[in-house]
A and B are shown apart, each in its own frame.
Chain A
Amino acid sequence: QSVLTQPPSVSGAPGQRVTLSCTGSSSNIGAGYDVNWYQQLPGTAPKLLVYGNNNRPSGVPDRFSGSRSGTSASLAISGLQAEDEADYYCQSYDSTLSRSVFGTGTKVTAL
């Protein structure tokens, strides 16, 4: 099982703001390791959405924003759109496992 825990699902009305959490521990996020976020549309490879906690690659809409605090990180989607329906994964590094780790994933649904 992953050491980064995410809620299985989050939903919101179009236009609403939704927040996804990624909860870790003192051996990963809490140790100061950065967090990246990925969006995975059905049947496709993950796409980098946020890197270094709160940076967006070129081309990613600014309605996606990331943050990190303590042993957790969050991804906010402001103005949820139907095209945002996807699975979202956080990623960090775990010093106990000595490897990159991914979160359990959150499925976002636009109601």
Chain B
Amino acid sequence: QVTLEESGPALVKPTQTLTLTCTFSGFSLSTSGMRVSWIRQPPGKALEWLARVDWDDDKFYNPSLKTRLTISKDTSKNQVVLTMANMDPVDTATYYCARIRLGDCSGGVCPIADWGHGTLVTVSS
């Protein structure tokens, strides 16, 4: 059974750096084809893909947020960490981590079957 759990601060101040950790079980990020992504959802709004790290340590970022994001993995701890610099109130959202399997991808798109419960991050002074 695959589980993912996000953890991090519930409240950050503007200009601060947010650090979120995704701790997962049921799979290894050293296994070929495994990927972990971060996706966020502002209250009442749509989902937005943020970043992804692959089993071979390839990393991909939302181009519009690339300068602020850093994603990394610690295979031994089964964790993926996302940092987002220079936080702003518009970054208030629920942040989800999710597991993707390369083998599930088709037509250039990868379905996401495994999601964490999400963690709400509020940016306010």
The answer to whether B46 touches A92 (Cβ under 8 A) is no
Q: What is the CA–CA distance of A102 and B47 in the complex, to the nearest angstrom?
A: 6
Query: With A45-B116, A45-B118 as given contacts, are A99 and B49 in contact (CB-CB < 8 Å)?
Result: yes
The CA of A97 and the CA of B88, in the complex, are separated in Å by: 23
Contacts of B108 in A (CB 8 A): 32-34, 93
Alpha-carbon distance between A46 and B49 when the two chains are bound, in angstroms: 13
How far apart are the CA atoms of A2 and B115 in the complex, in Å? 21
Which of these binds chain B: A9-17, A49-57, A74-82? Answer: A49-57
**B115's contact among A33, A46, A52, A53, by CB below 8 Å, is which?**
A46
Given A45-B96, A46-B112, A46-B115, decide whether A34 and B107 contact each other with a Cβ distance below 8 A: yes
**Bound-state Cα–Cα, A91 to B112, Å:** 10
| A98 close to B63 (CB less than 8 A) | yes
Q: How many residues of B contact A (CB 8 A)?
A: 23
B9 interface residue (CB < 8 Å to A): no
The total of interchain contacts (Cβ-Cβ below 8 angstroms) comes to 69
Known interface pairs A33-B107, A53-B107. Does A101 touch B49 (Cβ–Cβ under 8 Å)? yes
Task: Report yes or no: B106 in contact with A100, Cβ–Cβ below 8 A.
Answer: no
B104 interface residue (CB < 8 Å to A) = yes
State in angstroms the CA–CA spacing of A99 and B49 once bound together.
8
Whether the pair B63, A97 counts as a contact (CB closer than 8 A) is yes
A32 pairs with B113, CB closer than 8 A: no
Whether, in the assembled complex, A36 has its beta carbon less than 8 Å from a beta carbon of chain B, the answer is yes
Asked whether A89 and B109 contact (CB < 8 A) given A45-B116, A45-B118, A98-B63, the answer is no
10 interchain residue pairs of minimum CB distance: A34-B107, A51-B111, A45-B115, A102-B47, A34-B109, A33-B108, A100-B49, A36-B111, A93-B108, A52-B106
B: residues with CB less than 8 A from A are 37, 45-49, 60, 62-63, 96, 104, 106-113, 115-118
| Pairs A–B under 8 Å by Cβ, sample size 6 | A33-B109, A46-B47, A51-B106, A52-B109, A102-B49, A104-B46
